[in-house]
Structure 1
Amino acid sequence: MRLYMNIFQVSRYRGVKRTSLAILLGLSSTWADAQPGGTSEAHTLDPVVAQIVKEAHEHSQLQQLAHELLDVVGPRLVGTPQMKHAHDWAVAKYNTWGIEARYEEFGEWRGWERGISHIDMVHPRVKTLAGTQLAWSPTTGGKAVEAEVIVLPQVKDSLAFKAWLPHVKGKYVMVSMPQPTGRPDHNWEQYARPESFEKMKRERDSLTKAWNANIDAMGISSRSLPRILEEAGAAGILECYWSREFGSNKIFGARTTSVPSLDISLEDYGVLYRLAENGHKPRIKVETDSKHLGTVPTFNTIAEIKGSEKPDEYVILSAHFDSWEGGSGATDNGTGTITMMEVARILKKVLPHPKRTILIGHWGSEEQGLNGSRAFVLDHPEIVQKTQAVFNQDNGTGRVASINGSGFLHAYDFMGRWLSAAPREITRDINTDFPGLPSSGGSDHASFAAAGIPAFMLSSLSWGYSTITWHTNLDTYDKLIFDDLTSNVVLIATLAYKASEEPELVNREKRVMPLGRDGQPQQWPVIRQPRRTGVGY
């Protein structure tokens, strides 16, 4: 059963309990007093919460943190020097706030460093192309490699594909379907006649079906195609992973080991494809100077504010540190990172001696399978088993809009208490789902929920996250919404404060899992082993 409600109408899994606003609210300063400029709504606040609000609004460091992390350090791909630079920056920043931070190694990965790259069409006309190397892509060694661009053939079967393979030798091969439009659906829906919009969608569906059928006829998978073409002597692989938004492409990892893999913008990929398809034999010149760095460590960055009464019990602020690197990793997960850092800064200032230890986990290699948080759960059972709650953020720049109980039967109780302490201006539009269901993946809270620890994803408003910034070349500083981030800082700092001050560890009883499609009860997620070694995507 899934119940969505305002947090002040908290529903029990066994029967409904509505808690009045008057009981849930604190009895000291007001939100109107605490918020600069005031508000017509007089919501009384706990004195510590009032200080949190004041510090977050009057002395915010979010913009400076964002600048230093995103503009100076940049993206934080696992295995790159930038990931270590980010760690060093964070530790130094925490030290200025009087917070201890440390390095915790948990594995290794293939080291790689991006260099300058140039992608130019030189025939039938000259044009500099918008594109980028994929993560861990092999390099041209700083030399310009010029070659013809070709498209995949239409084949009857795998034998025909194998017969064609020798044609790729010395050529750049395009491996993505050409899109019939570069306009996102919302743009079509706004301006096109309905029949025109429907016609475009039918054409796109038909092209997609035909493209997939052709790959199937080759007797291979799209994942294995780049390696097969590389082994056949291709000069490089060209792809276009359009995100269905203006100018946005998703940038993941290379599947080649000796020739470059490049993602080309939708508009430039379309030019090359049409030229090749119509017999104009386009040629491009590619020059890259990225570096392979051998095997390098993977690690988490851990900071903590030591508890005064129960130092061996914990509240964990969770956000992964690593990112893909088509952009600067701004909303995935620079926003979560700087939010948790700002929360820690404020708590250290207004609550320097919390009852429980507040631990901030900046996890590494989340993008490759929650590796950092999974390793932490296995490597630190003494911490995990005495963790009060985990608050995780990892889905963009928007203010928190929903909270799932993660399958803990009594989450409605303790989370309801903690949420009621936050300013009403922030919580009034948050939907909750109690007891909810545990997540088996997706982000780092799942690693802790699998261990039976109350861990909550603080899910944000979209702001076009899935198409505009998630793993794309547009995931950059300019997409940040600092008012929403400030709201999240106040909310999370309040939750961490109240969780820390709770008299005892909360009830961790799990809900009865619902039936699955097979008619059998679903199973609680199990603890999974992290990848402690890897060679790329």
Structure 2
Amino acid sequence: MTLKYLPLALVASCLLSVSAMAKQAPSFDEADLKVAAELRDQALNSSLDYEIVESLTTEVGPRMAGTPGDAAAVKWGVAKLKELGFDKVWTEPVTFTTWKRGVEMAEVIAPYPQPLVITALGFSVATPEDGLSAEIIQFDDLDALKNAPEGIAEGKIVFIKNRMERARDGSGYGPAVAARGQGASQAAAKGAVGILIRSIGTDSDRMAHTGMMRYDEGIKKIPAAALSAPDADLLENMIRRGKPVTVKMTIGAKQGGEYTSHNVIGEVTGSEKPEEYVIIGAHLDSWDLGTGALDDGAGIGITTAAAKLILGLPERPKRSIRVIMFANEEQGLVGGKAYAEAHKDHIKNIITAAESDFGAGKIWRIDSKVKPEAIPAVKQMAEVMEPLGISYGNNQAGGGPDLIPLRGKGISVFSLRQDGTDYFDYHHTPNDTLDKIDPEALRQNTAAYVIFAYLSAQMNGDFGTGFHQK
């Protein structure tokens, strides 16, 4: 049916609806697109992002949740944001149970005595003080262990040998990391007294990758550790010879008490709608083996420097921008969960969010999770990023680990996809240090984040809420 056959009142109603929809469709003013491009170019000529990471890794270093390094990082974050001139700086408490690493050693006792390089997995229980010796039983991957007969590992140390596949988008991590997270309880359910896994990483260095694991309720807790890749190869070679292989492992880890850390927040306060805000952030904690330069000092440098560039404009953006340095991401997204709970009654004030937590490789794609009518505006944003080598991808963004709790409450999110080809060479190892960061790549990241943050704060309309992703 055409409009000429409709009653005039209905025609008017239809036209008003179309007009309202047009008003609701998000867009950017040409002047704002121009400012975003200028901010992009400023970022490419600034070294502030690198200076921030250098400061964090030098003045604080390792900052595992609940340690003195964690407390020092919170003080550092507050001081840094104030030094940079943020309009508001504050902290919000995050409370959790702590874990402490102790001695960690392993060796092959028979048939070919040799030392092994291991590291305990986060929240592993300890072995007896004089160590744990048992025969090794090998499994190709976690599924092979799950599907094995009951009691097959009775009195033995399980060894899971699965290898992580290298990929630019890090997609090999998910399938491999299940062995770290679930392996201990699955092994214990089959009667094992301990577990060793091939490190969840893509390097061949003789250093092990730590990371979080968990125990299932009602199943005995057994010591859990990761082997360096060369030592996992060594163990495979010994087992291939057909003789029983006995390993001794000694782990002195222990549970600590409850501890309260803090999310550290700096705000660029909006000029027109200060109660509405854009989140850009990263996690402030790290594991204890390296200095946390890539995971996630780089993200702290990128997002803080991006916001500082916006602070330098003659006028504040329409909406606020919050840089959140999340506490204790590594041991269960604790800071992200605390922030989502503390702000659950004001979810609609969050215009959108993005987290930088994948190292310092160049961004190659921007993905969104927004209402369909906002996608043209996202593509406009991507056009400003094109000179950086970034293109629009899809509308299935995840946003970043610490944003999972907020994402579950329905906020829109963006993923600025970094090249992570070599990220898992260093992830959760002593080799996560400042020298692994390429300053040029870091600047490219900051340039992308400043475009995202500024345009999101200035946009006409909104990206939508109510997606309720899990």
Of the three residues 94, 103, 126, the one matched with 2:91 is 103
Q: Is residue 392 of structure 2 the alignment partner of residue 408 of structure 1?
A: no
C-alpha contact 2:369 2:414 (8 A) present in aligned 1: yes
C-alpha contact 1:414 1:506 (8 A) present in aligned 2: no
Cα distance in structure 1, aligned partners of 2:50 and 2:258: 34
Give SS of 1:506's match.
coil
Q: 1:80 to 1:160 in 2, by over 3 A?
A: same
Give SS of 1:385's match.
helix
C-alpha contact 2:294 2:358 (8 A) present in aligned 1: yes
The one-letter amino acid paired with 1:147 is S
Q: Is residue 459 of structure 2 the alignment partner of residue 496 of structure 1?
A: no
TM-score by length of 1: 0.64
Q: 1:383 to 1:414 in 2, by over 3 A?
A: farther
The CA deviation at 1:405 is 2.9
Cα distance in structure 2, aligned partners of 1:270 and 1:381: 48
Give SS of 1:410's match.
helix
1:238 equivalent in structure 2: 196
Q: How does 1:149-188 map to 2 (within 5 A)?
A: 149-151=135-137, 162=151, 165=154, 167-168=155-156, 173-177=157-161
Give SS of 2:401's match.
coil
Cα distance in structure 1, aligned partners of 2:53 and 2:103: 24
The one-letter amino acid paired with 2:462 is V
Give RMSD over aligned pairs: 4.3
Q: How does 1:284-303 map to 2 (within 5 A)?
A: 284=248, 286=250, 288-297=251-260, 299-303=262-266
Give SS of 1:175's match.
strand
Q: How does 1:175-254 map to 2 (within 5 A)?
A: 175-177=159-161, 222-228=183-189, 234=193, 236-247=194-205, 250-254=209-213
Cα distance in structure 1, aligned partners of 2:45 and 2:56: 21
C-alpha contact 1:304 1:358 (8 A) present in aligned 2: yes
2:9 equivalent in structure 1: none
Cα distance in structure 2, aligned partners of 1:153 and 1:387: 46
Uncovered stretches (5+) of structure 1, i.e. residues with no partner: 1-13, 15-22, 28-44, 187-214, 216-220, 511-523, 529-537
Cα distance in structure 2, aligned partners of 1:58 and 1:403: 22
Give SS of 1:90's match.
helix
The CA deviation at 1:153 is 9.9
Cα distance in structure 2, aligned partners of 1:249 and 1:301: 30
Of the three residues 462, 465, 468, the one matched with 1:506 is 462
Cα distance in structure 2, aligned partners of 1:136 and 1:304: 34
Q: 1:448 to 1:405 in 2, by over 3 A?
A: same
Q: How does 1:280-359 map to 2 (within 5 A)?
A: 282=246, 284=248, 286=250, 288-297=251-260, 299-324=262-287, 327-350=290-313, 353-359=316-322
Q: 1:268 to 1:90 in 2, by over 3 A?
A: same
Q: 1:178 to 1:393 in 2, by over 3 A?
A: closer
C-alpha contact 1:318 1:393 (8 A) present in aligned 2: yes
Q: How does 1:341-380 map to 2 (within 5 A)?
A: 341-350=304-313, 353-367=316-330, 370-380=333-343
Give SS of 2:160's match.
coil
The one-letter amino acid paired with 1:224 is S
Q: 1:508 to 1:151 in 2, by over 3 A?
A: closer
Between stretches 292-301 and 441-450, larger displacement belongs to 441-450
C-alpha contact 1:305 1:352 (8 A) present in aligned 2: no
Cα distance in structure 2, aligned partners of 1:270 and 1:58: 45
The CA deviation at 1:361 is 1.7
The CA deviation at 1:486 is 0.4
Q: 1:492 to 1:324 in 2, by over 3 A?
A: same
The CA deviation at 1:278 is 4.1
Of the three residues 432, 440, 456, the one matched with 2:392 is 432
Q: 1:298 to 1:185 in 2, by over 3 A?
A: closer
Paired residues in the alignment total 420
C-alpha contact 2:352 2:463 (8 A) present in aligned 1: no
C-alpha contact 2:63 2:286 (8 A) present in aligned 1: yes
C-alpha contact 1:275 1:282 (8 A) present in aligned 2: no
Cα distance in structure 1, aligned partners of 2:289 and 2:444: 28
The CA deviation at 1:308 is 3.2
Uncovered stretches (5+) of structure 2, i.e. residues with no partner: 1-20, 22-27, 168-178
2:348 equivalent in structure 1: 385
Cα distance in structure 2, aligned partners of 1:91 and 1:333: 17
Of the three residues 415, 421, 426, the one matched with 1:463 is 421
1:53 equivalent in structure 2: 41
The one-letter amino acid paired with 2:160 is S
Of the three residues 34, 58, 76, the one matched with 1:89 is 76
TM-score by length of 2: 0.72
The one-letter amino acid paired with 1:102 is W
Cα distance in structure 2, aligned partners of 1:26 and 1:353: 14
C-alpha contact 1:124 1:283 (8 A) present in aligned 2: no
1:11 equivalent in structure 2: none
Q: How does 1:438-453 map to 2 (within 5 A)?
A: 439=398, 443-453=401-411
Percent of pairs with identical residues = 24
Give SS of 2:76's match.
helix
Cα distance in structure 1, aligned partners of 2:133 and 2:406: 50
Cα distance in structure 1, aligned partners of 2:153 and 2:34: 72
Cα distance in structure 1, aligned partners of 2:113 and 2:284: 40
The one-letter amino acid paired with 1:145 is G
1:112 equivalent in structure 2: 99
Q: Is residue 134 of structure 2 the alignment partner of residue 134 of structure 1?
A: no
C-alpha contact 1:308 1:355 (8 A) present in aligned 2: yes
1:208 equivalent in structure 2: none
The one-letter amino acid paired with 2:358 is N
C-alpha contact 1:151 1:273 (8 A) present in aligned 2: no
1:226-261 Cα deviation digits (max 9, x unpaired)? 4457x87x4x43322353543386533355787642
Q: 1:347 to 1:438 in 2, by over 3 A?
A: closer
The CA deviation at 1:340 is 0.8
1:282-331 Cα deviation digits (max 9, x unpaired)? 55463x55453212236422221223333222122132334455654443
The one-letter amino acid paired with 2:198 is C
C-alpha contact 1:251 1:325 (8 A) present in aligned 2: no
